[in-house]
Amino acid sequence: MATIKFGTSGWRAIIADEFTVENVRVVAQAIADYLKDKGLAHKGLVVGYDTRFMSEYFAARAARVFAGNGVKVFLSDRDVPTPVVSWEILRRGAAGGINITASHNPPEYSGIKFSPDWGGPALPETTSEIEARANALMADPKVSELSFDEAKYRGLIEVVSMVKPYLDDLRKKVDFSLIEAKSPRIAFDPLYGTARGYLDRLLSETGIDHTVLHDRRDPYFGGHRPEPAEEYLEDLSRVVVDGDYVIGLATDGDADRFGIIDKNGEFITPNEMIALALDYLIRVKGYKGGVARSVATTHLIDRVAALHGREVFETPVGFKFIGELIAQDKIVIGGEESAGLTIKGHVPEKDGILACLLALEMVCSEGMSLRKQLERLFEKTGKVLTRRVNLTLTDEQKDALKTKLAEGLAEIGGKKVVKTVTIDGHKFILDDGSWLLMRLSGTEPVVRLYVEAGAADDLMALSNAGERFITG
C-alpha cells in the first residue's frame, strides 16, 4: 500500500505507480475533511492542473470528490501556473486550492500541491494533518464523490478561466509602458509548461517583439525535466545569441520557477537574479521592508540589504516560510536559490512569470544587461560566487556524516568556523565570510552541499574540503 507523504511542495509520486486515480481521490477526501473540520468548506476550493499526462483527468476526479463533500470547486478550464492558482484563491476568498502538478520534476511524476486560504504553500502543520488523514483513509477508503455532470448541475463544479484576472494584476506590478518604450526583442521558453498563453500573451498585448520556443503541450517535456536550469536552456541560449535578443526568459512546468539568459547567452543564476532584483526594487522602485532568503541562498542578498539598511530573514528551505513573510507584508522580496521569488504586494508563492517580467523591466530600466548590472553591484558589495553539489552516499557514509555533524565542526579547509546555523541542515559560517551548508535528504542517501566564497579558487577549495568531509 502506498504512503502519502507531503514534501516541501506537496505530494509527488510516479504516475500509475503511486500516483493513481484512487490515491488522488483519497488525498482529495483528506483535504475535504480537513476543510470541513476547520469550518472552511463553504468558501469553495480552486482546482488547477499542469501539462503532464492525464493532469486534467486527475483534476476532474479530485473536483468530483470535493463536490461530493459539498465543497464548491472553481475548476480551471486549461492548464494553469501554480502562482495563478494562488492569485485565484485570494481573489475569490476561497478556502484554498490544489494544483495537480509535479512542478519541475521529471515527466513520469505528478503531484498534488495544496495551498490554504492565505494563498501560499501549506505550512508543515497543515500538510501533516492532511497527510495523516490521507494515510488513515488508505487503510479504510471512504470517499464521497459525485459524477461530473451532477456536480455541475448542482453548482458544485464551476469551470472558470483564471487567465485575465491574473494578467490584469501583473500589469499593475510591472512597468510595461517602460518596456514598450525601449522596444526590446525577447525570447521566451515555457519548456512545454503552463506559462504558455500567459507571459507571451502579455508581451503580445503590449506589442513587445518576442519569439516563443516549445510553446505546445508535451507531457514528455522534450525528453527531460521541465526545469529552467542552465543545462536545459541550451536552445534558448542559442536563440538569444543568434537572434540578437536582449534577454531570454524561461519558466518551469508549473511556472513557479524562472530561468534567465543574458544577451550574450550566459545563464544568470537565481542567486544573482534575486540579489539584483532586491537592489532594483529598493533603489529604483522605492519598496519598503526587509528581505527573506532560505538558508541555502546566497549571502549576496545580505550585502545588498546592508547597503540599504534592510533586515534579512533567514528561513528553512521551502517557499512556504517565505510566503508567510510576504503575507505578513514584512519583506520587499523573498527568494530561494532553487529559482523561486515573489515580491511585496504579490502572491505569497513563488512566481516564475513575475520573475521573468521583472528581469525584463530591470534590463529596460537600467539600460544594460544583467551581467553588467551584477558587475556594478559587485563594486559595492564585493564579489560572491556560489556552488551546489549533490552527493550520493552509502548508508554507512550517511550515518557517519550524521555523527560528525552532531559533533560539530571547528574548522574546514583551513578556515575557522565562527557560527553554525541548524534551522535546516548544518551551515558553517567561516571567518572570512564564506560558508558551507550540508543538507541530508530525508528520503534517500543523498546530501546537498552548498558553498559560497569570494573567489573561484576559494570556492573550489572549499567545495573540495566539504566533499572530503562528507564522504571521508
Kindly tell me if the per-residue pLDDT of 314 is higher than 80. Answer: yes
Q: Do domains 6-161 and 163-266 have the same CATH topology?
A: yes
Q: Which three cell numbers stand for residue 159?
A: 469551470
pLDDT band for position 111 (cuts 50, 70, 90):
very high
Kindly tell me if the per-residue pLDDT of 145 is higher than 80. Answer: yes
The strand pairing partners of 84, in sequence order, are none
**Mean pLDDT of all residues belonging to the chain:** 96
pLDDT in tens, 180-192: 999 999 999 999 9
Measured on CA atoms in the order 105, 110, 116, 122, is the torsion positive or negative?
Answer: negative
Measured on CA atoms in the order 49, 218, 190, 266, is the torsion positive or negative?
Answer: positive
- Amino acid identity, position 192: Y
d(CA 270, CA 257): 9
CATH homologous superfamily for the domain 385-471: Alpha-D-phosphohexomutase, C-terminal domain (3.30.310.50)
pLDDT band for position 1 (cuts 50, 70, 90):
low
DSSP state for residue 19 in the 8-state scheme? B
Residues 6+ apart with CB under 8 A from 373: 276, 362, 366
The domain defined by 6-161 folds into Alpha-D-Glucose-1,6-Bisphosphate; Chain A, domain 3 (3.40.120)
More confidently predicted of 52 and 398 = 52
Rounded to whole angstroms, the maximal C-alpha distance in the chain is 71
Backbone angles phi, psi at 334, to 5 degrees: -130, 140
CB atoms within 10 A of CB 64: 24
Q: What is the percentage of the chain residues whose pLDDT exceeds 90?
A: 95
Q: How far is CA 313 from the centre of its chain?
A: 18
Residues 6+ apart with CB under 8 A from 344: 281, 287, 288, 289, 326, 329, 331, 332, 333
DSSP state for residue 122 in the 8-state scheme? P
Kindly tell me if the per-residue pLDDT of 232 is higher than 70. Answer: yes
CB atoms within 10 A of CB 208: 19
Host H or E run for residue 304: helix 300-307
Residues 6+ apart with CB under 8 A from 124: 320
Q: Which three cell numbers stand for residue 108?
A: 513520469
pLDDT for res 445: 79
pLDDT in tens, 73-89: 999 999 999 999 999 99
CB atoms within 10 A of CB 264: 10
The domain defined by 269-350 folds into Alpha-D-Glucose-1,6-Bisphosphate; Chain A, domain 3 (3.40.120)
Domain boundaries, the chain: 6-161, 163-266, 269-350, 385-471
d(CA 360, CA 28): 39
CATH architecture of the domain covering 163-266: 3-Layer(aba) Sandwich (3.40)
Please state the rounded mean pLDDT for residues 53-76.
Answer: 98
Residues 6+ apart with CB under 8 A from 389: 448, 449, 451, 463, 466, 467
**DSSP code per residue over 211-278:** EESS-S--TTGGGS----SGGG-HHHHHHHHHHT-SEEEEE-TTS-SEEEEETTSPEEPHHHHHHHHH
